Structure 1
Amino acid sequence: MSAVEDRLAELGLALPETATPAGVYVPAQRSGRYVYTAGQVPLVDGALPATGKVGAEVTPEAAKELARTCALNALSAVRSVVGDLDRIAQVVKVTGFVASAPDFTGQPGVVNGASELLGEALGERGVHARSAVGVAVLPMDAPVEVEIQVELTD
């Protein structure tokens, strides 16, 4: 187990198995020293724990926790390509999509769930640039989706 996974265990978390893609794509793709993940919804054991729009059916607090799950799923996708998360030199960029009620404007607070998880797991290597985007709907009516790009040490 990697030091990153040891740190997650200290936080009471474990990386899930990488989710099977819902379409014609791969969960993560390596290009040189970079790994790009597909968008990760907050699947837990193959199911979404909540569906709907943030600010309507889903509270911002619940959505923030779901964003943490998305980040765990994204790390799992990275691991599926590189084998060892200790090879992450830096999380470069995080993009979070939040299915938002029309008057909801708290997307950055929701995506903080993913950003905070990456910082807790990777320390300074988890600090990143980020976009938090409100959208009308996400696949499977997920409240949030996160994708990450990481640079590897080799």
Structure 2
Amino acid sequence: MGRWTDRLAQLGIELPEVVTPVASYVPAVRTGSQVYTAGQLPIVAGTLQATGKVGDAVTPEDAQRHARTCTLNALAAVDGLVGLDSIARVVKVVGFVASAPGFHGQPAVLNGASELLGEIFGETGQHARSAVGVAELPKGAPVEVEMITEVV
């Protein structure tokens, strides 16, 4: 075990299996010292955990929990490609929120991702972020998260 896998164990967090892509892409790609993940949905054991728009069928609080699940799936993709312990820094998180008309709380939804990364990685998990409201996401998901990490 290493630094980050030990930290996950301390927090009682288990990374899920890498989610099978829903189309023609791979879960993560390394180029140089960076790993880019594909957008990850809130899928647990092969099942999408929610559908609908945030601010309507999905509460912002539930969406925040779904963003956390998406982030665990993104970390699993990094782990599956290069190993979690190779992460030197979380560089950027991009989150997409399927938003009901008039919903403007996308940043708070993405705090579910950012706060998890802070719990796990501390200062190394501090990252740049975009939180984008969109009309629709794949499979009707309420949230999608992708990330860029620097690895050694």
Which TM-score tier does this pair reach, normalised by the shorter chain? Answer: over 0.9
| Aligned equivalent of 1:89 | 88
Q: Distance between the aligned counterparts of 1:80 and 1:109, measured in 2?
A: 29
Aligned length: 152
Q: 1:83-122 maps to which residues of 2 (within 5 A)? A: 83=83, 85-122=84-121
Q: Which residue number corresponds to residue 52 of structure 1?
A: 52
Amino acid aligned to 1:95: V
Equivalent residue number for residue 27 of structure 2:
27
Look up the equivalent residue of 2:48 and give its one-letter code.
Answer: L
Structure 1 unaligned blocks of 5 or more: none
| Letter in structure 2 aligned against 1:80 | G
State how far apart, in whole Å, the 2-side matches of 1:6 and 1:46 are. Answer: 26
Alpha-carbon deviation of 1:138?
0.3
| Sequence identity percentage | 66
Whether 1:74 and 2:74 are equivalent positions in the alignment is yes
- Considering only aligned residues, what root-mean-square deviation do their CA atoms show, in Å? 1.0
SS at 1:101's partner residue?
A: coil
1:41-68 Cα shifts (integer Å, max 9, x gaps):
0101111111100000000000000000
Gaps in structure 2 of 5+ consecutive residues: none
Which range moved further: 128-137 or 3-12?
A: 3-12
TM-score by length of 1: 0.95
> Counterpart of 2:36?
36
Q: Is 1:5–1:14's contact at 8 Å kept on the other side of the alignment?
A: no
How far 1:7 sits from its partner (Å)? Answer: 2.0
Q: Supply the distance in 2 between the matched residues of 1:8 and 1:113 (Cα, whole angstroms).
A: 16
Q: Deviations over 1:84-136 (max 9, x none)?
A: x1211111110000000011000000001001111111111100000000000
How big is the shift at 1:11?
A: 2.5
1:13 paired to 2:13: yes
Distance in 2 between the 1:23 and 1:48 partners? 15
**What one-letter code is carried by the residue in structure 2 that aligns with 1:49?**
Q
